Amino acid sequence: MGDERILPRTDGGLERRGLLKCMVWAGTGVLWTMSGGVPRSTLLASAAASEMTEAPAGAGFSFMQISDSHIGFANAPNTDTPGTLREAIGLVRQQKGDAALMIHTGDVSQLSKPAQFDTADQIIREAGLETHFVPGEHDVLVDDGQPFFERFTKGGERGWYSFDQEGVHFVGLNNVQDLKAGGLGNLGRDQLTWLERDLAGRASSQPIVVFAHVPLWTVSQEWGWGTDDGAQALALLRRFGSVTVLNGHIHQIMQKVEGTVAFHTACSTAFPQPAPGTAASPGPIKDLPAGRLRSTLGVTRIARVAGKPGLAIIDTPLGA
């Protein structure tokens, strides 16, 4: 089996009941708990889950992730994306415990409009957490992304930047601009050069969290769900003992552990997209059964757990 595991979703499209209670520990294996009939590693998962839920303060360090709020989208299956973002922020407030910060992995807006940025900003502030953003392709539709960068990525004038928080090195990347025909997400030479310098000289024992909108690993070539030069970024990260790569864009949870690198994609707060190959296009799943929308949306909590090398990741849906 080696040290690479891919955890495909065992369900398809609309049968994602209880999809969302999942957890991954980089380096030590992958554990899931799910509320609905999906195989899981019960013993480890329940122990881990109780550790996460009963003693969040003991983790020492945790943070929240939200993604793909798409403020401005108002079609099936969600005509109230500000409303579901507000619900997500409510859930963040419930779950945050001692969380030090929050990240937003892009597509804050639907069309990069100032009013959409305003609405998102106002709602996200209600979390009461310092929030670090990276752009999605929907956020850089105007003036090469400058309005987004000025507002949401201060200190990263082209949408990428890094910072340290309680011993963890965070790297926010922009892989949504200068895309090539027929290609995937793109980091570009300038950003890779910056990343190399940013990581140089850091101890390999320092935990690294990389966050970017489009998955850095190829989830679906056909639907463009990957990053053309993602492998070059990952090569720079390989020497580190704990690397957690957090992405959005695909509006569903996918995860994989490869060596010391854990990959995880978050749910949207706006609408779900189909699993690769299960629909004609990656567009929104419009025909959700009544009342099921909130089971497909969610927030993510990431925590360092004492005695574990990697970070634990728990996704929680907005509703049943």
Partner 1 sequence: MIRCSLLARTLFTGGLLIGAMPARADETKVTIDNFTFSPPEITVTAGTRVTWTNRDDIPHTVTQSGTPRLMRSPPLDTGDTFDFTFDKPGEYRYFCSLHPHMQGVVVVVQEAPGKQS
Q: Which is nearer to partner 1, 18 or 223 (CB)?
A: 223
User: By CB under 8 A, what part of segment 222-261 binds partner 1?
Assistant: 222-224
Sole window of 134-142, 146-154, 232-240, 300-308 interacting with partner 1 (rule: CB under 8 A): 134-142
**Mask of contacts with partner 1, 57-96, x by CB under 8 A?**
----------------x-xx--------------------
**183 near partner 1, judged by CB under 8 A:** yes
Residue span binding partner 1 (CB under 8 A) among the ranges 16-24, 117-125, 165-173, 274-282: 274-282
* Residue 124, both tokens: 């996200």
Which residue number, 7 or 14, has a Cβ lying nearer to partner 1?
14
Half-sphere exposure of 228 (CA within 13 A, CB side): 17
What is the token pair recorded at 276? 């690769």
CA distances from 279 to 8, 92, 266 (A): 16, 31, 20
SS3 208: strand
**DSSP string computed for 135-173:** --GGG-SSGGGHHHHHHH-TT-TTS-EEEEETTEEEEE-
Q: Does 287 bind partner 1 (CB under 8 A)?
A: no
190 close to 160: Cβ distance less than 8 angstroms: no
Spatial CA neighbour of 213 closest among 313, 299, 301, 136: 136
Q: Distance between alpha carbon 115 and the CA centroid of its chain, in Å?
A: 24
Asked if residue 277 binds partner 1 (CB under 8 A), the reply is: no
CB 289 → partner 1: shortest distance, Å?
19
Cα(40)–Cα(48) distance, integer angstroms = 12
Select the residue interacting with partner 1 from 38, 100, 111, 236 (CB under 8 A): 111
Q: How far is CA 86 from the centre of its chain?
A: 18
- Binding test (CB under 8 A) with partner 1, winner from 180, 197, 201, 291: 180
Binding site for partner 1 (CB under 8 A): 73, 75-76, 110-112, 137-138, 141, 179-184, 222-224, 280-284, 286
